Structure 1
Amino acid sequence: MGSSEQRGGRRVFTWDEVQRHCGRTDRWLVIRRKVYDISEFSKRHPGGARLIGHYAGQDATDPFTAFHVDKTLVNKYLNSLLIGELAPDQPSSESWKNVQVTEDFRDLRAAVEKTDLLQPNKLFFAGHLAHILLLELAAWLSLWYFGASLFPFLLSLVLLSTVQAQGGWLQHDFGHLSVFSKSKWNHLVHKFIIGHLKGAPASWWNHLHFQHHAKPNCFRKDPDINMHPMFFVLGKKLSVEVGKQKMKYMPYQYQHKYFFLIGPPALLPLYFQWYIFYFAVSRMQWMDLAWMVSFYIRISLTYIPLLGVRGFLTMFFLVRFVESNWFVWVTQMNHIPMAIDHDQNEEWLTMQLHATCNVHQSFFNDWFTGHLNFQIEHHLFPTMPRHNYHKVAPLVRSLCAKHGLDYQSKTLFTAFADIVHSLKESGELWLDAYLHK
């Protein structure tokens, strides 16, 4: 059945036809069996053209449901893009290996929406913001009261590094629209926290992070694995591909060792620190740039009188160094050891389970990781307030057990160690493929 056929006055399509519209300038996708032409709209998509384009030619029902909190507003845009629907003889997705998995997950999603699991406790987030502000005040007071000798300097360094790391987890909550029912309030507080408290552009975070959620661990679609293969080879399949292609940008067989030099210590102070300014200026994100500048003005006026210019710069880059180690180990422990491959167009639950794992719950783990130890639940329900992840986790585990899906949860130390082990394994696979035909 082709696009020329009509059903109730509406055009109907086969998956073969939908799949052909997956280029840069010609993009269709499917949501709840309806076919939409997003070719022009993708350029105006608030999440960016790349994000929505990653589902061109595919079924986007579950990511659409997961990412949008105001369905009424979004449906107004969708109506103008509707061009038809799937033919009655077509499956709901062109690639689902187990339709029952998707149906059961959507039943779980519907059950979650009927409870209070998607409702935030605003006092929880207010408390986290308050503890961040109090830590920053304590960092300043330690220098103001005790002076800039070694011990108060180190104490202030630890406190400010904690402020930056915890601020990163908190901006993540508002960026995912997890706190307020109105998107505009989430966006405003997000800009304040990531811009004024951390000195980074919200638009940069949105651009990268939602692509990661849409297609985690998918090469050329997940920006978080863009270091492959320039600095690291990742995943069992991709590392062998690079080896067979005789590509060697780095001595990958040693990547599990040089990761400690150019990975956690270097990402924020040596790369992100300049790139965020380039991003904001090149994309003319002037409001974000203003929020960023307010951070650098504030922190300079606060600490230069206490430390001098040289002492302030030393403090600033040491904070970025500590924060970078904290950030990289936490954000990569859930993904780098998992399956990394080209987009296999798996259905939502299976894709997220293949690409993510959890770290066991504890008060420290929850605080230290910003509840990203519940990475599976976060990826399945990205707008869910983080204080509810532990409540939905048993339901997710039960669903995974029903369908034989591997639900991994580890100790924090094991999760960190698995990053190194996986880098060592993929480096060895690369070397073997590189040396042999």
Structure 2
Amino acid sequence: MAPQTGPSEKGTGAVPAFPQLFTWEEIGIRNGRGQGREQWLVIDRKVYDVSEFSKRHPGGRRVISHYAGQDATDAFVAFHNDKSLVKKYLKSLLIGELAPDQPSFETNKKVSDFRELRCTIEKMGLLRPNYFFFFLIFLHLLVLDAASWLVVWYFGVSLVPFVFSFLSDPFVSQIQMGWFQHDLGHCSVFRRPRWNHLMQIVVINMLKGLPASWWNHLHNQHHAKPNCFRKDPDLNMHPLLFSLGKTLSVELGKQKKKFMPYNYQHKYFILLAPLALIPFFQLSILYFAIRRKKWLVSTASLSGKLQKCHCIHLHLLLVRYLESTWFIWVSQMNHIPMNIDYDKNKDWVSTQLHATCNVNQSVFNDWFTGHLNFQIEHHLFPTMPRHNYWKVAPLVKSLCDKHGIEYKSKTLLTAFVDILHSLKDSGEHWLEAYLHG
């Protein structure tokens, strides 16, 4: 252990006059797996013990645990708009600082340039929401949802609602509600987090029939460590249904594991992925409710789902499948074709850019994807309102050009096709390792 230059005041909330100094070796082993499952992390070169706090962390236990033993400075800044509020929690967790001879990401020119960029966009006001924009978004959701109910009410449960289903439940109103609740979950619609949380409960719990706390629990982890196996929940279908990424596919093949014929996964993805998403979500919600004892929110979301089932019956099964199809292709077009591996403890910029790519901007693409075609900007600045992505995109691209990082942007069709190409490549790596590894 690095020499202690003064008395330790762990847990007192006071900053020691002579703080205890730590090395990365000491911090790295406090990753939740060793040393009595202690969890330490670093923010601005200060060391915090979050072992107990992680259990009551508002963003979820796992999202903060994913940075245990690592530098969490940029992740902390990215997730928290109200720094003065969260710093109150940090005071009682402070146990020391990095020793002066210990390196940190702030010495990385790429990281320092990114932090300057963030300061610039804050001064430009690009993290502040435009209420009129989101009012129009919500208004168009109400119009579309009303249209879907009118179609079912007027024609009944028959072929006609299906023919006009582009105006009905899943295709527009439900998926667009999904994009809107995504904005609310990232606290990018209102300036006060409380207002975002309350509105998100209305949209996702009552109108979509899914619990907001469950979604936030999973999605925050995805943003913290995108495409990192065992940390990103979006990879949970590996290896049960799909083999993702070269590293994981080769590992799976060498272990002689064959839950599915992965060399054909690019063919069955189109049918199976949306079909599996529906029971996967329901089982995940049940597991979440049992583990977290979130019975109230789960019951409220179920009531919203049963209300729609009562009116639409079997028609719901088809439209839910089509909604899942829309969701799965849009949500995966920016990630599956990118690097998928174990967590390598890279800096925030590298972590996000290696796991994300963009789809070219157009009025249709923006609307169809809920502005998730700007996935790079969204991941670098998760609390940024979506109407500002296009403004910051040129600045991010300049940063990438300066540091030799590829800034990928594709057509929508290319992005969809690349999902299948990536699955085909991963399946071939698995088969080669399975047969000859």
Please give the range of the TM-score, normalised by the shorter of the 2 chains: over 0.9
Give yes or no for the alignment of 1:225 onto 2:206. Answer: no
Q: Is the 8 A contact 1:143 1:153 kept in 2?
A: no
Q: 1:183 deviation in Å?
A: 0.9
Q: Secondary structure at the match of 2:42?
A: strand
Q: Is the 8 A contact 2:46 2:98 kept in 1?
A: yes
Q: 1:153 deviation in Å?
A: 4.2
Aligned to 2:414: 414
Q: 1:289 deviation in Å?
A: 2.5
Q: Is the 8 A contact 1:366 1:373 kept in 2?
A: yes
Q: CA RMSD in A?
A: 1.7
Instruction: Tell me which moved more, 111-120 or 398-407.
Output: 111-120
Aligned to 2:110: 101
Distance 1:64 1:134 in 2: 38
Distance 1:84 1:20 in 2: 16
Q: Secondary structure at the match of 2:47?
A: strand
Partner AA of 2:25 in structure 1: D
Aligned to 1:40: 52
Q: Which of 22, 38, 41 pairs up with 1:26?
A: 38
Partner AA of 2:47 in structure 1: V
Q: Secondary structure at the match of 1:263?
A: helix
Give yes or no for the alignment of 1:12 onto 2:12. Answer: no
Q: 1:142 deviation in Å?
A: 2.1
Q: 1:272 deviation in Å?
A: 1.7
Q: 1:207 deviation in Å?
A: 0.9
Q: Which of 188, 192, 205 pairs up with 1:195?
A: 205
Distance 1:22 1:238 in 2: 22
Q: 1:320 deviation in Å?
A: 0.8
Residues 255-294 of structure 1 mapped to structure 2, 5 A cutoff = 255-268=265-278, 270-294=279-303
Give yes or no for the alignment of 1:176 onto 2:186. Answer: yes
Partner AA of 2:95 in structure 1: I
Instruction: Tell me which moved more, 252-261 or 163-172.
Output: 252-261
Q: 1:277 deviation in Å?
A: 4.2
Give yes or no for the alignment of 1:299 onto 2:308. Answer: yes
TM-score (norm 2): 0.93
Aligned to 1:68: 80
Partner AA of 1:256 in structure 2: H
Q: Secondary structure at the match of 2:48?
A: strand
Distance 1:56 1:115 in 2: 33
Q: 1:144 deviation in Å?
A: 2.8
Partner AA of 1:408 in structure 2: K
Partner AA of 1:225 in structure 2: L
Partner AA of 2:382 in structure 1: P
Q: Is the 8 A contact 1:236 1:426 kept in 2?
A: yes
Q: Is the 8 A contact 2:62 2:221 kept in 1?
A: yes
Gaps of 5+ in 2: 7-15
Distance 2:420 2:390 in 1: 27
Once the two structures are superposed, what CA deviation does each residue of 1:206-243 show, in whole Å capped at 9, x if it has no partner? 11100000000001000101111221111111111111
Q: Secondary structure at the match of 1:355?
A: coil
Instruction: Tell me which moved more, 368-377 or 143-152.
Output: 143-152
Q: Is the 8 A contact 1:201 1:280 kept in 2?
A: no
Q: Is the 8 A contact 1:66 1:380 kept in 2?
A: yes
Partner AA of 1:183 in structure 2: P
Residues 416-431 of structure 1 mapped to structure 2, 5 A cutoff = 416-431=416-431
Distance 2:315 2:379 in 1: 35
Q: 1:148 deviation in Å?
A: 4.3
Aligned to 1:112: 121
Distance 1:154 1:277 in 2: 34
Aligned to 2:13: none
Partner AA of 1:359 in structure 2: V
Aligned to 1:355: 355
Instruction: Tell me which moved more, 289-298 or 8-17.
Output: 289-298
Percent identity among equivalent residues?
62
Partner AA of 1:4 in structure 2: Q
- Quickly say closer, same or farther: Cα 1:154–1:284, change in 2 above 3 A: farther
Q: 1:141 deviation in Å?
A: 1.6
Distance 1:245 1:299 in 2: 45
TM-score (norm 1): 0.93
Residues 290-329 of structure 1 mapped to structure 2, 5 A cutoff = 290-296=299-305, 298-300=307-309, 303=311, 312-329=312-329
Instruction: Tell me which moved more, 205-214 or 234-243.
Output: 234-243
Q: Secondary structure at the match of 2:128?
A: coil
Aligned to 2:94: 82
Partner AA of 1:187 in structure 2: H
Instruction: Tell me which moved more, 251-260 or 60-69.
Output: 251-260
- Quickly say closer, same or farther: Cα 1:300–1:218, change in 2 above 3 A: closer
Distance 2:291 2:235 in 1: 23
Distance 2:91 2:166 in 1: 52
Q: Is the 8 A contact 2:210 2:302 kept in 1?
A: no
Aligned to 1:239: 249
Partner AA of 1:210 in structure 2: N
Partner AA of 1:110 in structure 2: C
- Quickly say closer, same or farther: Cα 1:218–1:275, change in 2 above 3 A: closer
Q: Secondary structure at the match of 1:55?
A: coil
Q: Secondary structure at the match of 2:20?
A: strand
Distance 2:287 2:64 in 1: 24
Q: Is the 8 A contact 1:358 1:373 kept in 2?
A: yes
Partner AA of 1:13 in structure 2: F
Distance 1:49 1:281 in 2: 15
Q: Secondary structure at the match of 1:371?
A: coil
Q: 1:244 deviation in Å?
A: 1.6
Once the two structures are superposed, what CA deviation does each residue of 1:187-209 show, in whole Å capped at 9, x if it has no partner? 00011111011000011101110
Once the two structures are superposed, what CA deviation does each residue of 1:289-344 show, in whole Å capped at 9, x if it has no partner? 2431441354356x2xxxxxxxx221211121111000000000000000001101
Q: Is the 8 A contact 1:338 1:354 kept in 2?
A: yes
Give yes or no for the alignment of 1:122 onto 2:131. Answer: yes
Distance 2:17 2:283 in 1: 56
Aligned to 1:137: 146
| Number of residue pairs aligned between Structure 1 and Structure 2 | 424
Q: Is the 8 A contact 2:285 2:298 kept in 1?
A: no
Give yes or no for the alignment of 1:53 onto 2:62. Answer: no
Aligned to 1:308: none
Q: 1:167 deviation in Å?
A: 0.6
Q: Is the 8 A contact 1:191 1:291 kept in 2?
A: no
Residues 347-386 of structure 1 mapped to structure 2, 5 A cutoff = 347-386=347-386
